[in-house]
Amino acid sequence: MEYTKRKILTVTELTEEIRKILEGGFSSVWVQGEISNYKRAPSGHSYFTLKDDNSQVKSVMFKGQSRFLKFKLEDGLKVLGWGRVSVYSPRGEYQLVVETLEPVGLGSLMLALEQLKAKLSAEGLFEVSRKKSLPRKPHTVGVVTSATGAAVRDIIRIIQRRSPGVNVVVSPTSVQGDKAPGEIIDALNRLVVSNLPDVIIIGRGGGSIEDLWAFNDETVVRSVAMCPMPIISAVGHETDFTLSDFAADVRASTPSAAAELVVPDDRETWDTVSHLFARLKNGMFNCLSRNVQTLDEITRTFLQPLRRIQDERLRLQDLSDRIKKNALRMVALARKDLDAMLVRLRPDILTRTHNIASDDLMQLNGRMSRSIRLSLEDFRNRLSGMVTQLETLSPLKVMLRGYSITFKVADGSLVNEAQAVIQGEEIRTLVSDGEIISVVTNTSKTNKD
Partner 1 sequence: MQPENMESTESYNFDSGLDELKSIVEKMESGGLGLQDSLKLFEQGVGVSRRLFEILSQSEGKVEELLADLERVPFSRGEG
> Residue from 101, 170, 175, 231 that binds partner 1 (CB under 8 A)?
170
Question: What gap in Å lies between CA 383 and CA 77, rounded to an integer?
Answer: 152
Q: Name which of 191 and 212 has its Cβ closer to partner 1.
A: 191
Nearest to residue 134, comparing CAs of 228, 249, 248, 234?
A: 249
Reduced to 3 states (helix: H, G, I; strand: E, B; else coil), residue 238 is coil
CB 173 within 8 A of CB 196: no
Nearest to residue 170, comparing CAs of 204, 137, 136?
A: 204
Count residues binding partner 1 (CB under 8 A). 51
Question: What gap in Å lies between CA 250 and CA 225, rounded to an integer?
Answer: 11
Least Å distance between CB 291 and partner 1?
5
Q: Is 430 in the site for partner 1 (CB under 8 A)?
A: no
Q: Measured on CA atoms in the order 261, 241, 171, 211, is the torsion positive or negative?
A: negative
Contacts of residue 442, Cβ cutoff 8 Å, sequence gap at least 6 = 423
Question: What gap in Å lies between CA 209 and CA 121, rounded to an integer?
Answer: 21
Q: Name which of 195 and 381 has its Cβ closer to partner 1.
A: 195
Residues 133-152 contacting partner 1, CB under 8 A: 135-140, 142, 147-149, 152
> Residue from 108, 269, 429, 432 that binds partner 1 (CB under 8 A)?
269
Q: Name which of 152 and 258 has its Cβ closer to partner 1.
A: 152
Task: Enumerate the H helices of 240-346 as residue ranges.
Answer: 243-247, 255-262, 266-344
Taking the chain, what is the end-to-end CA distance rounded to the nearest angstrom? Answer: 174
Residues 175-194 contacting partner 1, CB under 8 A: 186-187, 190-191, 193-194
Residues 96-135 contacting partner 1, CB under 8 A: 135
Q: Is 169 in the site for partner 1 (CB under 8 A)?
A: yes
Q: Is 159 in the site for partner 1 (CB under 8 A)?
A: yes
Q: Name which of 99 and 266 has its Cβ closer to partner 1.
A: 266
Q: Is 425 in the site for partner 1 (CB under 8 A)?
A: no
Q: Is 287 in the site for partner 1 (CB under 8 A)?
A: yes
Nearest to residue 220, comparing CAs of 254, 255, 176, 253?
A: 176
Q: Which stretch binds partner 1 (CB under 8 A): 161-169, 241-249, 251-259, 310-318?
A: 161-169
Q: Is 280 in the site for partner 1 (CB under 8 A)?
A: yes
Residue 13, φ and ψ in degrees, nearest 5: -60, -45
Q: Is 84 in the site for partner 1 (CB under 8 A)?
A: no
Q: Which stretch binds partner 1 (CB under 8 A): 23-31, 167-175, 376-384, 385-393?
A: 167-175
Q: Name which of 49 and 173 has its Cβ closer to partner 1.
A: 173
Q: Is 172 in the site for partner 1 (CB under 8 A)?
A: yes
Q: Which helix (H) or strand (E) holds 365?
A: helix 347-393
Which residues on neighbouring strands pair with residue 240, listed in sequence order?
none
Q: Is 163 in the site for partner 1 (CB under 8 A)?
A: yes
Nearest to residue 38, comparing CAs of 79, 92, 84?
A: 79
Task: Enumerate the H helices of 170-247 as residue ranges.
Answer: 180-194, 218-226, 243-247
Least Å distance between CB 190 and partner 1?
5
> Residue from 22, 80, 156, 420 that binds partner 1 (CB under 8 A)?
156
What residues line the site for partner 1 (CB under 8 A)? 135-140, 142, 147-149, 152-153, 156, 159-160, 163-172, 186-187, 190-191, 193-196, 198, 266, 269-270, 272-273, 276-277, 279-280, 282-284, 286-288, 290-291
